[in-house]
Amino acid sequence: MGPWNLAAPECYGDSFSRDNHLGNGRTGHTASYSWIIPKLSTLGSTYLNADGTANCALRLRYNITAGDYQGWNEVDNKGEMVDAKYNNAKSPVKQDPYITYGKDDNGYDWQLRLALNTDQYSRTFEDRSHTFYIAARPADITDTHRIFNLNVRGKRGNIVEAYPAVEYDFTPSDLQISVGDYIHFQWTGCDTNPNYAGEGTQRTDRSNIVELKDRKRNIPISSIGDQTMFPSQDVAFKFAHLNQFGGKVCSTVDQQACCKTYEQLKAAGGDIDQNVQNCMKINDPSAAYFNGGTIQMKKKGTYSYISTRNNNFTNRSQKGTITVEPLLPTWGVVMASVGAGGFVIASGVAAGYYYGVTHPASAVANFFAGVSI
């Protein structure tokens, strides 16, 4: 145990990623770490805020480890690892060195010069620190249910302007859960981005969610009444429009603190796209942070969705997919219907299924959700 009376951090090798691919892994999706947020009760009251939340600091770092020298093994059989003692002239690698690579017919050594900057060789890159707070689990969601966070990553701008970040994307962009699991939809934006390419008022981040028929499409389903992703049309409306200006629509062209209609925006003059009352572009300043709350996914299926604001340019695609799997797979349904000869097996499956339904966060639930035949 360390000085904070906390267990040692988990340490393991991450998944493979190609150089310069902005943190995406072999599959093309974000390299990630599945973190189960600790209960606030384990922290003790000393670390809690007045409202019962707890502040959390997160540092993200990635570095390179070159194979040109044994950075973690002994050096020259002296039982020492490479550290600050091997800086400058003692460094195992040299600044932009000249190396001999072959001789000509006259025996003259020919050399090549390597573009090797020791200031950037095997050092830490992209050190980023973030702060957020942890809130208590909603009182109506028991500890046996799982809650998954669905957020937004990336920033305003095209791929060159956004580098070394990425353009807007939902994360996880492909979320696989079980029937009965909850999703906490939330994301935060910013109004102080560089003046880069993007939709809506300049320098602002905004994201919304509208259901697609499938992920190949770029136009949402034809009617909000056809949506199946959310439990009601009211919820779907909230996620599409983010409750801008409290849902108030202007009655006159000059009225403030409300959403102007397209006709009112044209009559007001100026750049319609930059008008903060253009709610079709999600321009309301209060829409930067969105907390959609927790929603229980009760029906199996595959649900695809899009952010209508940011799905533009030739290579930008802010889309996501949620796959909700049944706790009891097809083979379990068949087995459960077997007659008296399979009663014992069927009873066991039925009992396991019932336990999985009532305890979705349990290992049993994961088993029934993940086994296929």
- Per-residue pLDDT tens for 222-278? 999 999 999 999 999 999 999 999 999 999 999 999 999 999 999 999 999 999 999
Question: Across the chain, what does the average pLDDT equal?
Answer: 84
Q: Does residue 337 register a pLDDT over 60?
A: no
Q: Which of 48 and 86 is assigned the larger pLDDT?
A: 48
Q: pLDDT band at 26, cuts 50/70/90?
A: confident
Question: What is the DSSP code string of 155-210?
Answer: -SS-HHHHTTS-S-EEESSEEEEETT-EEEEEEE--S---S-S-SSSTT------E
Return d(Cα 78, Cα 80) in angstroms, integer: 5
Q: pLDDT band at 368, cuts 50/70/90?
A: low
Return d(Cα 158, Cα 136) in angstroms, integer: 37
Q: What is the pLDDT of residue 372?
A: 43
Q: What is the pLDDT of residue 312?
A: 79
Our CA angle for 34, 35, 41, nearest 5°, is 160
Q: What is the pLDDT of residue 272?
A: 96
Q: What is the pLDDT of residue 338?
A: 53
Alpha-carbon distances of 113 from 98, 106, 239, 323, rounded to whole Å: 4, 21, 57, 52
Are 169 and 152 in contact by the 8 Å Cβ rule? The answer is: yes
- Per-residue pLDDT tens for 201-210? 999 999 999 9
DSSP designation for 119: G
Per-residue pLDDT averaged across 34-58, rounded? 86
Q: Which of 76-90, 154-168, 272-286, 300-314 has the lowest mean pLDDT?
A: 76-90
Q: Does residue 170 register a pLDDT over 70?
A: yes
Phi, psi (degrees; rounded to nearest 5) at 90 = -85, 0
Q: Does residue 330 register a pLDDT over 50?
A: yes
Both structure tokens of 363: 């290992």
- Per-residue pLDDT tens for 71-102? 766 665 666 677 788 888 888 888 999 999 99
For helices 363-370 and 343-358, angle between their N-to-C axes, nearest 10 degrees: 120
Q: Which of 70 and 266 is assigned the larger pLDDT?
A: 266
- Per-residue pLDDT tens for 114-151? 999 888 777 777 778 888 889 999 999 998 899 999 99
Residues of the chain with pLDDT > 90, as a percent, come to 52
DSSP designation for 30: B
Q: Which of 28-42, 118-132, 355-369 has the lowest mean pLDDT?
A: 355-369
Q: Which domains does the chain have, with CATH numbers?
A: 35-64+123-136 (no CATH), 84-120 (no CATH), 144-241+286-325 (2.60.40.420), 243-281 (no CATH), 330-370 (no CATH)
Long-range contacts of 88-93 (CB under 8 A, 24+ apart): 91/118, 92/68, 93/66, 93/68, 93/69, 93/118, 93/121
Q: Does residue 342 register a pLDDT over 80?
A: no
Q: Does residue 20 register a pLDDT over 50?
A: yes
Q: Which of 64 and 257 is assigned the larger pLDDT?
A: 257
Q: Does residue 195 register a pLDDT over 50?
A: yes
Per-residue pLDDT averaged across 157-185, rounded? 91
Q: Does residue 332 register a pLDDT over 90?
A: no
